[in-house]
A = this chain, B = another copy of it.
Amino acid sequence: MKRDKEKDLEGLQNFELLLDQVMTPPAGGPYPVWEAARYSLLGQGKRLRPKLLFAACQLFGPPPAQAPVFACALEMVHTYSLIHDDLPAMDNDDFRRGRPSCHKVFGEATAILAGDLLLNGAYELMAESLVSQPDPGPLAAMEVLARAAGGHGMILGQDRDLAQEGLETASLEQIQKTAQWKTAGLIQAALLMGGHLSGAREQALEVLALCGLAAGIAFQIRDDILDCASNRATLGKTPHKDQAAGKKTFVSLAGLEGAGRLLEEKTQEASLAIRNLSQMGCMTESLEELIRLLVERNY
């Protein structure tokens, strides 16, 4: 058990080193935009999405050579979305990952640019990798990420989230749809990217999509529950924010117990999908463990 943990830690350290390396600033700095992007990216993130990408690869064998670079790109897209979402004009959050948020340290202009740098940089990184090795799997992985992050996915979710703040009421269905776009889509993309990078077949990709969607919704429900129940030291960001902002969440609509039941439901869906993958001959241990952590987390 100890050896496994050490092994995990080593893998993660390698990932942190690569993330640092791909974000090497140009000569002649320091440049505020690079300082800001590195501050937000190389902070205390859980690296959940990269871990999911790796776990999805491991379903099919050792992760292929391109996996770490695509995991970096995924984390960069996630981090850009946090920086922009935290801006005063958006969710106006002063804390993130246990530290002052990007615009609090570097100012709004540099924070906007730093988000842009990370978003564009993710594609720059994938494009560079693809030019030297234009395989269908990595190309599909890039398309999955672009689709999940874009105006039919995460950006649409943030748009809906902003719109729902002003509403008197919202249905559980609407909240679930918004969560799917804003949060679950990128978690689903993490699994699908891993699948595509590993050359998974259509049938496995379909089950991965189901698993990612259920796990992603479960993740958001857990987030809403934690927002009610936790404190800033544990959470690393401002708690009770949703409530204060009058945001419609799974908890505000279904109550703490109802949200708990829905969380259980979605967790079961994800587990079912994992059993399905196991029956296809996939090695599901890493993914199983990760999704358990994801829905049981206290931070």
Contact = CB atoms under 8 A, between A and B. Distances in A.
B116 A33 contact: no
| Copies of this chain present | 2
A190 interface: no
A187 B142 CA distance: 25
A136 B134 contact: yes
Given A127-B139, A151-B34, A112 B84 contact: yes
Contacts of A124: 143, 146-147, 150-151
Interface stretch (A103-111, A251-259, A277-285): A103-111
Contacts of A131: 136, 139-140, 143
Chain A residues touching B, range: 35 or more
Contacts of A108: 89
Contact of A123 (B89, B128, B146, B156): B146
14 contacts: A31-B156, A31-B160, A32-B159, A33-B159, A34-B159, A37-B151, A84-B112, A116-B119, A119-B120, A124-B150, A128-B146, A130-B142, A130-B143, A131-B143
Interface of A: 25-26, 31-34, 37, 80, 84, 87, 89-90, 107-110, 112-113, 115-117, 119-121, 123-124, 127-128, 130-131, 134, 136, 139-140, 142-143, 146-147, 149-152, 155-156, 158-160, 162-163
